[in-house]
Amino acid sequence: MILRIMVGASTKYMSRLFKDGKAMFLAYDQGLEHGPKDFNEKNYDPAYIIDIALRNKFTGLIFHKGLAEKYHEHYSGRIPLIVKVNGKDSIAKGEPFSPLVCSVDYAVRLGADAIGYTLYVGSGLESQAMEDFRLVQEQARDYSLPVIGWMYPRGQAVPNDIDPTIVAYGARVGLELGADVLKVKYTGSKETFKRVVQMAGNAKVVCAGGLKTDPATFIQQTRDILDVGACGVAVGRNVWQSDRPDGIARALEELIFKNATVKKAMEVMSL
């Protein structure tokens, strides 16, 4: 008799992260990754970010374990939690590598609905990162949890981390290694991003918000990535560094969940 074991993330957990197959994640891992330079007198407070997520239609909140622990009562049961299990600061220099800072087991104890992991494709320390990712991905499968891979080409071998070919390669790496959702950077055009989505195969693609850009550019980029098959966005600073975070969130909702035009999204943002 052949024993068949269910592989892949369960439909139950995947469905929690999406609304009608679309995703809108709010990321707040920048405190570890970037430090105080990203924060002002409002957005340094995790409770401020949680409130933005809850009063809008975000389908996931991305935290490291410390915030997940200490702000649990603010969000638990109200929005899916994505726990980043690796991370680094921006003080140390050298080839990029993001070490494990939380186990999958502990993320589950925190109530994680999905696991997040950053892999710097092309880094000189890529082999260690891939081994860590293997452990994380296989442990997540023990709980049927989805794995979201931050697939970021970076390092001395990567002169341009938004080169379309390199970004597409990173997406393919994520697919081959078993990620369920791939967080990638925008490549500059709808045509080049379409190739990224193709290389992702059956893995879902969300586009990173990245550095804060003007709202009109950001909204157009979001429309572009949705048009070529991405399922949504994983944004952070574009929303919570804005003095109108709810307006930007409403515009994203129109694009992602209602398939609105850029014009319509901009009108909603200004309400």
Indicate the pLDDT class of residue 214, thresholds 50, 70 and 90. confident
- The answer to whether position 205 is within a domain reads yes
DSSP string, 243-261: S-HHHHHHHHHHHHHH---
- The answer to whether position 57 is within a domain reads yes
Which CATH number does the domain housing residue 175 bear?
A: 3.20.20.70
Q: What is the pTM of this model?
A: 0.95
- The answer to whether position 5 is within a domain reads no
pLDDT mean over 20-43: 96
Question: Structurally, how many domains does the chain consist of?
Answer: 1
CA distances from 25 to 16, 129, 235, 242 (A): 12, 24, 6, 16
- The answer to whether position 97 is within a domain reads yes
pLDDT digits (tens, 9 = 90+) for 60-102: 999 999 999 999 999 999 999 999 999 999 998 999 999 999 9
**Residue 229: which of 23, 89, 67, 51 has the closest Cα?**
23
What is the reported pLDDT for 8? Answer: 79
Residue 213 has pLDDT above 80, yes or no: no
Q: What's the CA gap between 271 and 261, in Å, rounded?
A: 16
Q: What's the CA gap between 181 and 229, in Å, rounded?
A: 13
Indicate the pLDDT class of residue 3, thresholds 50, 70 and 90. very low
pLDDT mean over 218-226: 96
Residue with the larger pLDDT of the pair 41 and 9:
41
Residue with the larger pLDDT of the pair 13 and 204:
204
Out of 183, 185, 194, 204, pick the active-site residue: 183
Strand 181-184 versus strand 147-153 pairing type? parallel
What is the reported pLDDT for 211? Answer: 61
- The answer to whether position 1 is within a domain reads no
Residue with the larger pLDDT of the pair 61 and 3:
61
User: Residue 165 sits in which domain range?
Assistant: 11-269
CA distances from 268 to 67, 194, 214, 251, 254 (A): 31, 27, 16, 6, 8
pLDDT mean over 30-47: 96
Supply angle C-alpha 14, 20, 24, rounded to 5: 70
- The answer to whether position 6 is within a domain reads no
Q: Is 264 a catalytic residue?
A: no
- The answer to whether position 2 is within a domain reads no
What are the DSSP E strand ranges found in 34-141?
60-63, 81-84, 114-121
Residue 137 has pLDDT above 80, yes or no: yes
- The answer to whether position 200 is within a domain reads yes
For the chain, percent of residues with pLDDT exceeding 90: 92
